[in-house]
Amino acid sequence: MRNKNLTVSIEEAQEIILNSVSPLNCENISIMEASNRVLYEDIVSDIMVPPTDNSSMDGYAVIASDTRGASHNHPITLKITGEIQAGGSIIGQRVSKGAAIRIMTGAPIPEGADSIIQFEDTEEEAGYVKIFRETVKCENYRFAGENIAKGDTVLQKGDRLRSADVGILASLNYNIVKVYKQPTVSIISTGDELADIGEDMQIGQMRNSNAYTLYTEIIKYSGLPDYLGITKDTVKDTKEIFLKALKSDVIISTGGVSMGKYDYVKEIYSDLNIDIQFEWVKVKPGRPFTFGKKDNKLFFGLPGNPVSALTSFIQFVRPALLRLMGAKRIAKPVVNAFLEEDINKQSGKVHLLRGYFTIKNNEFYVSTTGNQTSSVLRSMSDANCLIMIPENITKVKAGEKVSIQLLDHDEI
């Protein structure tokens, strides 16, 4: 006899799942493949970026005190004694009193100079430059180390790499970076009614869409999906496909976890000694949801309806994949929004309604995207957020504030 509470809240489900995750091991990869992967190591800079003081403008390197009193009507004239391009050498180049060196953006600042005046405030003629305004010390300087100082921890273990992060790795001369491995994920579709893409549809059949929705989500979260196909609703076929899936770190199935006569997924879990942690979540859509574990493998028995499968993935599988990959940030942002229509619901479950938010005068507004039946994927495709109505609330009026979970924003 199991003595577990098989019906849990969203928060309890998330906690049970995250407590079941052991992060994967590491591997070294090229920084060019590192987008969205999670760092396994802190990145500490052993250099200064930029390495030397350099100019942030095209102009002239001068001695600031030489420009004192300069104005448009009374320019000061300096003799041009050299030029430094970006990437050019400053060896042998020195700005002495009364002189200026032409300098390009990014070029190192020559000895003697203590300020850069941009071309726009000058006029050059026959080896001399007229300076039309006073400049102060260190104007238009990029200082050595102002971007990154030696010893700075610029990125941390658990950071999910974005483009600016990869740029930082490149500026620190990293070609290869140590990241968490990607979880392998098997996808199983269960259901006698399902026809796959390209197969003839018999009366009463419907297309398998879940496998493709989930495949796309898994890639988005840097998992390695393997779609194993559709299984018929028989014990034998269901067991066979689950045995094939055992090679993966994560096994996701859709359908077959409800109260139907031919829902065999839980039976197979028991047969394979998968330890079921819960079977129902107090959420709509997505109430039937079986989560189990065995050794380090995670088993997500998602509901069959297309919207339930996807919203359950977002609430429960997504955080697990991120944690498997060592990510520190796993929460989708939740903000308050003014509701633009009345909503009525029954108590007892949190409702996640498909919504579309807009921002007017710095405030969020949200309305639903139409039919909220859990088989209507269209209204999920139209949504950019989920409106979260708490368990015991039965009525929210237009103009009141509700929490919305942003679907298309990175984790925070």
The binding site for Mg ion (CB under 5 A) comprises 191, 255-256, 304
Contact between 206 and ligand AMP per CB under 6 A: yes
Distance CA 9, CA 350 (A): 8
Contact between 303 and ligand AMP per CB under 6 A: yes
Contact between 208 and ligand AMP per CB under 6 A: yes
Contact between 260 and ligand AMP per CB under 6 A: yes
Between 207 and 294, CB nearer to ligand AMP: 207
Contact between 301 and ligand AMP per CB under 6 A: no
Region near ligand AMP per CB under 6 A, out of 112-120, 140-148, 169-177, 252-260: 252-260
Between 108 and 304, CB nearer to Mg ion: 304
Contact between 254 and ligand AMP per CB under 6 A: yes
Which of ligand AMP, Mg ion, none does 208 bind, CB closer than 5 to 8 A by kind? ligand AMP
Please pick, from the candidates 23, 110, 225, 306, the single residue that binds ligand AMP as defined by CB under 6 A.
Answer: 306
Q: What letter represents residue 399's amino acid?
A: G
- Closest-CB residue for ligand AMP? 304
Contact between 189 and ligand AMP per CB under 6 A: yes
HSE (CB half, 13 Å, CA atoms) of 100?
A: 32
Which of ligand AMP, Mg ion, none does 55 bind, CB closer than 5 to 8 A by kind? none
CB of 232 to ligand AMP, least distance (A): 12
Between 51 and 260, CB nearer to ligand AMP: 260
- Candidates 279, 320, 323; CA nearest to 301 is 279
Between 34 and 188, CB nearer to ligand AMP: 188
Region near ligand AMP per CB under 6 A, out of 62-70, 71-79, 142-150, 250-258: 250-258
Between 292 and 304, CB nearer to Mg ion: 304
Considering only residues 23-52, where is the footprint of ligand AMP by CB under 6 A?
none
Which of Mg ion, ligand AMP, none does 305 bind, CB closer than 5 to 8 A by kind? ligand AMP
Interacting residue ranges for ligand AMP, rule: CB under 6 A: 189, 191, 193-194, 206, 208-211, 254-256, 258, 260, 303-306, 375
